[in-house]
Chain A
Amino acid sequence: MVLLAVLIFVAVSSWSRQPAVARPSVQPIDFPHVVHVQTYKIDCQYCHSDARRSEYAGLPSVERCMGCHKITGAQLPEIKKLAEYFARKEPIPWVRVNKLPEFTYFPHKAHVRASVKCQTCHGEVEKMTTFAAAPGPRLANDLLNLAGFRPAPPPLTMGWCVDCHREQNAREDKKAPLDCVACHH
């Protein structure tokens, strides 16, 4: 009877918990990370320049994009779109891919300082033509847990963060906080 109750509630839990969203993203401009990162070897932080100093990684200003694209590939249709945005002095309404719940505080700065690679959380962006993520809690995981198996928690879930923090603390002299209120306040 108790077990039954548990099962029901676990099922409930999988939707009632706000997960990290993961949607196939249709971007206003078809931006290929693969080209920028692999072909042109541009460092992540060249564009996402706030990561090292801010809670947010930040997006490149349209001006910065134009910095290269005034010349580079200016004739390509997607780049033309970019140019139009710039001409209209409008921000590009990028569609959000990674988002943590509102009650979770995730500072990029601290993680960059601890020299965590972007790919650790965002996946192999350098191989992505369209950026996507498949994170978030899944009912399957809870059920497997319940059955006694311990599947690795999917990316951008709490358990996943915690695993990494614990590894860090176990290895080097790092002090990755495991305090609840470090992230939830």
Chain B
Amino acid sequence: MNRRDFFKIVGATGAAAATAGCQGAGEHILPLVVPNEQLVPGVASWFATVCRECPAGCGVLARNRDGRVVKLEGNPDHPVNAGALCIRGQAALQGLYHPDRFAGPRVRAGGGLTPATWENAQKLVVERLAALRGAGKGRAVALVTQLEQGSLGVLADRWTQALGARPHVTLEPFAYEAIRAASRITFGRDAIPYYALEEAQVVVSFGADFVETWLSTVGYTRAFARMHAFRDGRAGTFIHVEPRQSLTASNADEWVRNAPGTEGMVALAVLRLMLEEGLGDRRFADAVARVDVKQVAERSGVAEATLRHLARAFGHARPGLAIGGGVAVSGTNATETQVAINLLNAAAGNVGRTVRFGPDSAYGRVTPYAEVAQLVQAMQRGEIEVLLLGQGVNPVHALPAGLGFAEAARRVGLVVSLATQPDETTALAHVILPDTHWLEAWGDYAPREGVTGLLQPTMSPVRDARPLGDVLLAVGRAVLGSEEGKGPLPWASFEQYLKAAWEPVVRGQWAAALRQGGVWRDVAPAAVQATAGPLAAGAAALEGDAGGFALLAYPSLRFYDGRGASRAWLQEAPDTMTQAVWDAWVEVPAEAAARLGVATGDVVRVSSPHGALELPAYVSATLHPQAVAIPLGHRYAPYHVPRYVAAAPTAMSPAALLGPATDAASGGAAWLGVRVTLARTGARRPLAILQATHDQDHRELAQHVDLRAAREQALRGRAGRHETISMYADQVYPGYHWGLAIDVDACVGCQACVVACQAENNVAVTGKASAAYGRQLHWIRIERWAEGPAAHPTNTFLPMLCQHCEVAPCEPVCPVFAAYRTEEGLNGQVYNRCVGTRYCGNNCPYHVRRFNWFQYEFPAPLEVQLNPDVTVRQLGIMEKCTMCIQRIIAGKDHARDAKRTVRDGDILTACQQTCPTRAITFGNLKDDTSAVTGLRHSPRAYTVLEELGTRPGVTYLKKVVREHA
């Protein structure tokens, strides 16, 4: 049990001892040499920064204890995420403390990479660059980074200009270029607008997977909740068109399954029918004059009645909103599809209302894929001598194999990677100059116009790393032979450059801006005019065996383009739809599976004209019969093998199957571009699937109520609510009575709470075999319960955690009082008293108690992340959700300092804090004014397995289903 274990960080960070707090484990305790006013040992301090796990750029607060960051939370002031954080943001810590992180510069000698000093490593680069510059071959130098449009981007541009190198390339595999192009075509504006979901009455999404990855997942999920949740009284309608029942589709009131690549024609048909119904702007009538609805219905497999119904629903919406994304707008016909969607919005008069140009998304600044392709061609031709790759870019893994980046890179004289940890691309690098993790770095990032977040170091670097900016400055000056303060790159450090760049903006208010996490202002919507010529969108053109299956390669909620895959937390957090962990899979439609004779877990060979992949099958009843789906981004980090998974498969990402095909109109990569054939290999690779069944067997775990009924109950209250009677006197609560309320209607199943809890409570990672055998340790889990026809079920997501029962079955059976009832209404679990009889685990009807089957390890330096306020459990101990008791204690402590009692909002549990849809509410049930008390008495309130009379302290609110769902 190592806790408050500071000393290990000294091993981790060179300079830690000097800045360290004082509590050492075991023998020594180290005082500060010079007191650091920001850090009081034992007291958390918070630093605002910006999450860079994806281009959404959410605001983050980093909790620093004793000089080390132990938890990330959303920045409540930040306009994009307003305090919430997604699963990847929560797991960013594991990038910071990643066991595989480069301990310092590396230089390739012979086969492998060998450690080197910064001086030597940089010298290699400098000499090469200087030589090229001398020879006037500056164009042979290319700098590729992830999307950096802030100060760092500008600096990079300066740097490339100063060295006469090729223009700085920003590489984002999912750049939504089709949306840009379509905006250009329809509205004459090259931008990705802001979609005001929160204000729409009806949202029709063509594959836009905003719960998973689309544009700004936290931001749009929040907006969606506001437009859709019954709680806020809007109860808008959400219709989703996609061949696969994705997580987003499961959240739709109506999921329309269409043939892959036919979203465009569906949109046009809807537009035509809408206009026929006399709804919407007639000016667009001739645009769809040539659309044959019958033919569309037949090719897309969407019944004409459904199309008409969509048209009516959308047409009547005041306002509505049509959005496109995911596979729908990343096919070979992506732009046409998006144009059609734009027209829907234009005709319905949503432009300027729910479609807002002005606060444009940062995605609009990504270097076009066409230019990336050109760079790769140049590399192939051997025109590139030096290639610098920033962190976060892993083209070998993330880009379609058809692009041939790997081969091209082999022809580059000097590949310099600034990655923080090894990946497929660093395997090709000659020099590695490890960049600092974004939690250790200065910077700024503007996710959309008007919102600029500031990054600041939240702790001293865990590894010997230098920020990209500093490296560029140092190298640049060395190449140019100019010294500090002079020349085009005069700044001593990137930090200095950043502050200089910001001075005119903040005008001395730097500290305030830092504290707030950035600066934001409202951006007025720009007026745009929609124009359209006649359209006839066809289906996406797919290469490969005509009899094959359309390959749906979609970005994964957990790994995005693969950046997240090295985090064990994300690997062990189940994919909500399949509940699978620690492996990739190919989703095979049931019909095809039956034909091939494969069951879930049988390895299937997926072949396309560009490659083949062997993956275990996941048989899906919902997937379109002409499609197979494989999530992008699956890969393992070196330390995962064999610690958590037996062996690392050669490839798990469908990028290996994709060709060079692009969407002609936009030049964007075509993620929907090939047909694949399936073959049974006979091998088996059972998937670790955590949920035994999605059928709740009439046990009413996840309940729902019809919208009309819900409205009525909201007015009149619900009749016939009975209290379970008990032989014993009700418990009296002298002080507080903590309770939790979970709105099943709001939960979208994004799993953010699962990882947030894991980070907060030192929950260990168990690995594939253990997870598959029901030994995972998550204190909270998101269950998916399916109802209705197998091919078209309605999914309900039920967050399940310790119910903190008043009449808890787990307590009386414990022989040593390790499980008992606290006088504040919690189920206490005293780890150091637990003997491990596991009786409580059997007797808990919800099976939410977790047992430490082994002594689980936290590979260095991951143990540095452990929350000092929570005991790390030894082997043989039972553990479970504590409602974040450490936060409750802290909250009460602060209240006492302020000489008052705890109020709503003083205490947020980790799961509640991170939830993008505010589905979870914690509070004091004795306080009649508290939110949780209100929810507990809501007509939608119910408790799981109520008939057992356990009287849970966790209340659930029924999901509200729409009439037509």
Contact = CB atoms under 8 A, between A and B. Distances in A.
A118 interface: no
B887 to A, nearest CB: 10
A61 B869 contact: no
Contact of A180 (B28, B33, B833): B833
Given A63-B35, A103-B871, A179 B823 contact: yes
Contacts of B500: none
B40 interface: yes
A46 to B, nearest CB: 13
Contacts of A54: 40-43
Given A56-B23, A56-B41, A96 B872 contact: no
Interface in B14-54: 17-18, 20-35, 40-43
A50 B32 contact: no
Contact of A61 (B35, B829, B886): B35
A181 B42 contact: no
Contacts of A102: 1-4, 25, 871-872
A105 B869 contact: yes
15 contacts: A54-B40, A54-B41, A55-B42, A55-B43, A59-B29, A90-B17, A91-B32, A92-B31, A93-B28, A103-B871, A104-B832, A105-B869, A105-B886, A110-B893, A181-B885
A89 interface: yes
B826 interface: yes
Given A113-B896, A180-B820, 14 more contacts: A54-B40, A55-B42, A55-B43, A56-B21, A56-B42, A58-B42, A61-B34, A91-B18, A96-B28, A102-B872, A113-B897, A185-B831, A185-B870, A185-B871
B32 A61 contact: yes
Interface residues of A, number: 38
B416 to A, nearest CB: 34
A91 B31 contact: yes
B830 interface: yes
A160 interface: no
Nearest to B877: A103
B262 interface: no
A15 interface: no
Interface in B881-915: 882, 885-886, 889, 893, 896-897
A50 B2 contact: no
Interface string A63-81: 1100000000000000000
Contact of B28 (A56, A95, A104): A95
A61 B21 CA distance: 10
A55 B27 CA distance: 19
Interface centre among B23, B25, B817, B882, by most chain A C-beta atoms within 10 angstroms, is B23
Nearest to B25: A102
B871 A60 contact: no
A53 interface: yes
A62 B17 CA distance: 13
Interface in A119-162: none
Contacts of A99: 26
B30 A181 contact: no
The 5 tightest CB contacts between A and B, nearest first, are A54-B42, A59-B31, A55-B42, A56-B42, A91-B30
A50 B40 contact: yes
Nearest to A103: B832
Nearest to A113: B896
A91 B822 CA distance: 42
Contacts of B897: 113
Contacts of B822: 179-181
A184 B29 contact: no
A30 B567 CA distance: 47
Contacts of B828: 179-181
B27 A95 contact: yes
Nearest to A54: B42
A182 interface: yes
A179 B888 CA distance: 13
A184 B830 contact: yes
Contacts of A179: 822-824, 828
B31 A60 contact: yes
A62 to B, nearest CB: 5
Given A56-B41, A90-B17, A184 B831 contact: yes
Given A103-B831, A184-B830, A185-B871, A94 B31 contact: yes
Interface in B813-864: 817, 820, 822-824, 826, 828-833
A153 to B, nearest CB: 17
Interface size class of B (residues with CB under 8 A): 35 or more
Contacts of B817: 180
A25 B261 CA distance: 75
A165 interface: no
Contacts of A109: 893
Nearest to A64: B35
A1 B542 CA distance: 81
A103 B870 CA distance: 8
A55 B823 CA distance: 24
Nearest to B35: A61
A179 to B, nearest CB: 5
Interface centre among A99, A103, A180, A181, by most chain B C-beta atoms within 10 angstroms, is A181
A181 B826 contact: yes
B22 A56 contact: yes
A19 interface: no
A101 interface: yes
A89 B886 CA distance: 35
A184 B832 CA distance: 7
A42 to B, nearest CB: 16
Nearest to B826: A181
A109 B43 CA distance: 10
Contacts of B31: 58-62, 91-92, 94
Given A50-B41, A96-B27, A107 B893 contact: yes
Given A61-B34, A94-B29, A102-B4, A184 B833 contact: yes
A91 B23 CA distance: 13
Interface in B33-77: 33-35, 40-43
Nearest to B868: A55
Interface centre among B17, B25, B27, B882, by most chain A C-beta atoms within 10 angstroms, is B27
Nearest to B827: A181
Given A53-B43, A95-B28, A182 B889 contact: yes
Nearest to B884: A185
A28 B817 CA distance: 44
Contacts of A180: 817, 820, 822, 828, 830, 833
Contact of B830 (A62, A110, A181): A181
B871 A184 contact: yes
B886 A185 contact: yes
Contacts of B4: 102
A104 B868 CA distance: 11
A101 B885 CA distance: 19
Contacts of B824: 179
A174 to B, nearest CB: 12
Contacts of A184: 830-833, 871
Contacts of A104: 832
A93 B893 contact: no
Nearest to A47: B31
Contacts of B22: 50, 56, 58-59
Contacts of B823: 179
A179 B872 CA distance: 20
A55 B17 CA distance: 20
Contacts of B18: 89-91
Contacts of A96: 24, 26-29
B893 to A, nearest CB: 7
A54 B17 CA distance: 20
A170 to B, nearest CB: 16
A91 B1 contact: no
Contacts of A105: 869, 886, 889
A182 B422 CA distance: 43
Nearest to B34: A63
Nearest to A110: B893
Interface centre among A58, A107, A113, by most chain B C-beta atoms within 10 angstroms, is A58
Contacts of B43: 50, 53-55
